Amino acid sequence: VPRSLRSLARLLLLIPFVLPLVVPLYARTHPRLGPFPFFLWFQFALVAVTVLGIGLVFLLRERGDERPR
Amino acid sequence: VNGAELGVFCALFFVITLIGLYSSRWRRGDLNLLEEWGLAGRRLGSFVTWFLQGGSLYTVYAFVAVPAHVYGAGALGFFSIAYALVIYPVSYVVLPRLWRVARDGAHVTAADYVQARFQSRTVAVLVAVTGIVATMPYIALQVYGIEVCVAQLGLPVEAALAVAFVILAGITYVAGLRSAALIAVAKDVLIWGTVIMAVVYIPIHLGGYGHVLHSVPAAKLELDSHLYASYATLALGSALALWLYPHALTGTFSASGADVIRRNSFLLPIYTAMLAMLALLAYMALVAGVQPSHHYGANSIVPDLFEQTLPPALAGFALAAIAIGGLVPAQVMSIAAANLFSRNIYRALLRPGASDAEVTSASKLSSLVVKVGAVVFILVVPATYVVNFQLAGGVWILQTLPAVFLALYARRLDRRAIVLGWAVGTGWGTYVLAQTGFDEATRSFAVFGHESVYVGLPAVALNLAVVLGGSALLRIGARLRARY
């Protein structure tokens, strides 16, 4: 994996760190998803985004610090 | 007491006991060594670590208190979801580094690392004492969560808790962290089964999600704009505190590799989805007309909802799942606190020449004492005091951030500045909490435009300022003295 792509991917770590803290961004009712207000489904969706985002950073990580004892 | 409900509940507890008894033979190691008893030999792979960490970070108290918070305070209660997301980028970046240092230095506790890093017994003892003090009320709250479930079944509370904890203490004494790891796997099968069943079955019973969410008063669904700062600072402050808790670090240090921790940083958020589903149960309880109980307030709404809406056998299953959910965190927390005591207080201060076997016995014994203490604590002290104590514990544990996390990155930290920063952060945080009788985690401050913010955050900011400023001043002072 090229180094530039790897460091770009690491920026994905910022999504689950920053977005949950920018509360005014999602403290609203609309748009709804079915019966769920935005406030709820946005945070539920962030769970999936966190899994995928950090997962991608992991797949593109620099290997080699797993040296055995 | 319903026969089917009680039968299923007791049968599941019996199965868990058998698994715990078997666990001392699992991946056999010399249980007279603390690395084996207290860290399962640092051999836990991604799979078991996922269950162990998920089982000990998402505690029974969360299962009971998060829905209770949403039931009472509405949308603010969802800050736990934001918090349970922010912790993962933090763990991905910080914990592999700490794991490697701990493995290379054969550290079992955070205070071990701090001792090696600063060559200061004072700093190490401060970190150890803070860890123990913050963990004690947390264990008591696990007992409390179990108590709520047991009371819902109509069992005699004192006797049931005593039986559960005698068994649990015995298993932990013999098998250590291995038993927590295996019980965590079994427990999760139960808890996932329960949560998925609950979020599918109960809404159907109540007329669908659309009906549930439209019946909830708007005030419970929307977050008022004056609470934005509380929401964000509670999430951030709790997230920074989490990985400093001894039980979170025990789970980290027992991993077999740094990649195990990285992999779990994106697999553990799956538990956050579970937490979100549990929080939704609060709305279902509101719509089902579940009332807070006389003894436990809103903390009993989820067990009560299960009993009111599920068939008896399934309700017994669900209550057992939640109650067993308290055993794993109680085990890991008591092991973590016991390790801090045996290594960083007993050996470091009381018996400097103690052999490894003696330190391990001290750990095993203190894990017993801690659990018995937690049960007595919760039966004697009013639960609100324990909740407030745990809240203060969060502010206190956050004050070990410079000594444990910052020290991984910043090289030129002075141990005297670390001690001073700890004292300032802890002192100020405690003072502010004491002004409201340790009742409120958030306070409004003029400097933040009178918005209420989580007390732990300005406290740790002060702490960091003292640590960084103090280290720089002491370095300049030393340089000047060397020159003249």
Distance CA A3, CA B302 (A): 49
Angle between helices B46-57 and B327-339 in degrees, nearest 10? 100
Q: Do B269 and A54 touch (CB under 8 A)?
A: yes
Average pLDDT on B408-427 reads: 96
In this prediction, residue A69 has a pLDDT band, given cuts at 50, 70 and 90, of very low
Q: Share the mean pLDDT of chain A.
A: 89
Which ranges of B268-414 would DSSP assign to H, the alpha helix? 269-288, 301-309, 312-324, 327-339, 356-380, 383-398, 401, 407-409
pLDDT at B291: 95
Helix then strand then coil, % of chain B, to nearest 5: 85, 0, 15
DSSP state of B197: H
CA distances from B365 to B106, B225, B358 (A): 22, 50, 11
Average pLDDT on B156-182 reads: 89
Q: Do B210 and A54 touch (CB under 8 A)?
A: no
Q: Do A21 and B272 touch (CB under 8 A)?
A: no
Task: Say which of B212, B223, B266 has its CB closest to residue A39.
Answer: B223
* The pair of three-digit structure tokens given for residue B199, joined into one six-digit string: 């979020």
Average pLDDT on B93-99 reads: 96
pLDDT at B275: 93
Residue A18, SS3?
helix
Contact B404, B244 (CB under 8 A): yes
pLDDT at B391: 87
* ipTM over the 0.95 cut-off: no
Q: Do A47 and B85 touch (CB under 8 A)?
A: yes
Q: Do A47 and B269 touch (CB under 8 A)?
A: yes
φ, ψ of residue B452 to 5 degrees: the values are: -80, 130
Distance CA B48, CA B40 (A): 11
Residue B351, SS3?
coil
* The pair of three-digit structure tokens given for residue B143, joined into one six-digit string: 């007992």
Contact B404, B465 (CB under 8 A): no
Residues of B in contact with A45 (CB under 8 A): none
pLDDT at B484: 82
Amino acid at B264: N
Task: Say which of A16, A39, A66 has its CB closest to residue B86.
Answer: A16
CA distances from B329 to B131, B183, B340, B348, B432 (A): 15, 11, 16, 27, 29
Average pLDDT on B25-43 reads: 85
Q: Is the peptide bond before A31 cis (omega within 30 degrees of 0)?
A: yes
In this prediction, residue B221 has a pLDDT band, given cuts at 50, 70 and 90, of very high
φ, ψ of residue B255 to 5 degrees: the values are: -65, 150
If phi > 0 it is left, if psi is from -120 to 50 it is alpha, else beta; for residue B29 that is: beta
Closest-CA distance, B268 to chain A, in angstroms, reads 8
pLDDT at B440: 84
Could you tell me the sign of the dihedral formed by the alpha carbons of B281, B286, B291, B292, in that order?
positive
Residue B457: HSE in the Cβ half-sphere, 13 Å Cα cutoff: 20
pLDDT at B420 over 60: yes
Q: Do A43 and B263 touch (CB under 8 A)?
A: no
Residue B267 pairs with which residues in a beta bridge?
A: none
Contact A20, B276 (CB under 8 A): no
Q: Give residue for tokens 């019966």.
A: A35
Closest-CA distance, B78 to chain A, in angstroms, reads 8
Distance CA B109, CA B101 (A): 11
Residue B454 pairs with which residues in a beta bridge?
A: B442
* The pair of three-digit structure tokens given for residue B425, joined into one six-digit string: 């952060």
Could you tell me the sign of the dihedral formed by the alpha carbons of B172, B163, B324, B142, in that order?
negative
Residues of A in contact with B76 (CB under 8 A): none
Q: Do A54 and B235 touch (CB under 8 A)?
A: no
pLDDT at B1: 67
pLDDT tens digits, residue range B375-415? 888 888 888 888 888 888 999 999 999 999 999 999 899 99
pLDDT tens digits, residue range B354-367? 898 999 999 999 99
pLDDT at A66: 54
Distance CA B351, CA B146 (A): 36
If phi > 0 it is left, if psi is from -120 to 50 it is alpha, else beta; for residue B119 that is: left
Average pLDDT on B314-342 reads: 92
* B235 at interface of A, judged by CB pairs closer than 8 A: yes
pLDDT at B13 over 80: yes
* B216 at interface of A, judged by CB pairs closer than 8 A: no
pLDDT at B447 over 80: no
Distance CA B89, CA A16 (A): 7
Q: Do B265 and A69 touch (CB under 8 A)?
A: no
Distance CA A51, CA B210 (A): 27
pLDDT tens digits, residue range A52-68? 999 999 999 877 655 54
Residues of A in contact with B209 (CB under 8 A): 34-36
pLDDT tens digits, residue range B279-305? 999 999 999 999 999 889 999 999 999
For B100-156, the DSSP string reads HHHHHHT--SHHHHHHHHH--HHHHHHHHHHHHHHHHHHHHHHHHHHHHHHHHHT--
DSSP state of B225: G
Closest-CA distance, B160 to chain A, in angstroms, reads 37
pLDDT at A35 over 80: yes
